[in-house]
Each structure stands twice: as structure tokens, then as C-alpha cells.
Amino acid sequence: MINKASKIKIYSTSWCGPCSSAKRLLTEKGFSYEEIDIEENGMSRDDLFNITGGRTVPQIVIDEKTLGGYDDLLELESSGQIFS
């Protein structure tokens, strides 16, 4: 579930299509988020895994709990769990 009180973090890279799609969807719904570009921050995929449990980008973290990638965000939207 995402609502206006949710604290959203997105681990991303600059060249990743699903990262852009996830950010666009959240912005369209009026959410702000913290973006962490793993390459700009010198993070390896192992670092990403240790923090989020996933190795692909985006990794979307809601209130310190990993949601997953863009497909997981879409699933949340289609099941009516994004309250903008």
C-alpha cells in the first residue's frame, strides 16, 4: 500500500527504462520520492541486494520495506493499493 504518508525510495540507474516508468507513475500520482542512483553512488549489485533483497533496478522501497520493481508497482496500482 502506498499513500501520501509513505516514505518512498527508488534505487535506480540513469539508463533504465523501468526506472523512468516507475518515477513517472509516482510523479503522475503526486508522490515524491528519494532517488538513489546506484552507479552515481558507487554501489554494486551486491550492495543493492544487501539493502533491498533485489539485484535489478528499479528497487522501490516503501517505508523501509522492499516492494520490488516497476512490475510490482504496477501490480499494486492495478489492485487499487495506491492512494494518491
Ligand X SMILES: N[C@@H](CCC(=O)N[C@@H](CS)C(=O)NCC(=O)O)C(=O)O
* Nearest to ligand X of 34, 75 (CB atom): 75
Give yes or no for residue 29 binding ligand X (CB under 6 A): no
Give yes or no for residue 52 binding ligand X (CB under 6 A): no
Helical (H) or strand (E) element with 10: strand 8-12
Q: For residue 64, which amino acid is it?
A: E
How far apart are the C-alpha atoms of 78 and 57, rounded to whole Å? 21
Q: Minimum distance from CB of 42 to ligand X (Å)?
A: 17
Q: Minimum distance from CB of 5 to ligand X (Å)?
A: 24
* DSSP result, 56-71: SS-EEEETTEEEESHH
Residues that bind ligand X (CB under 6 A): 16-18, 55-58, 69-71
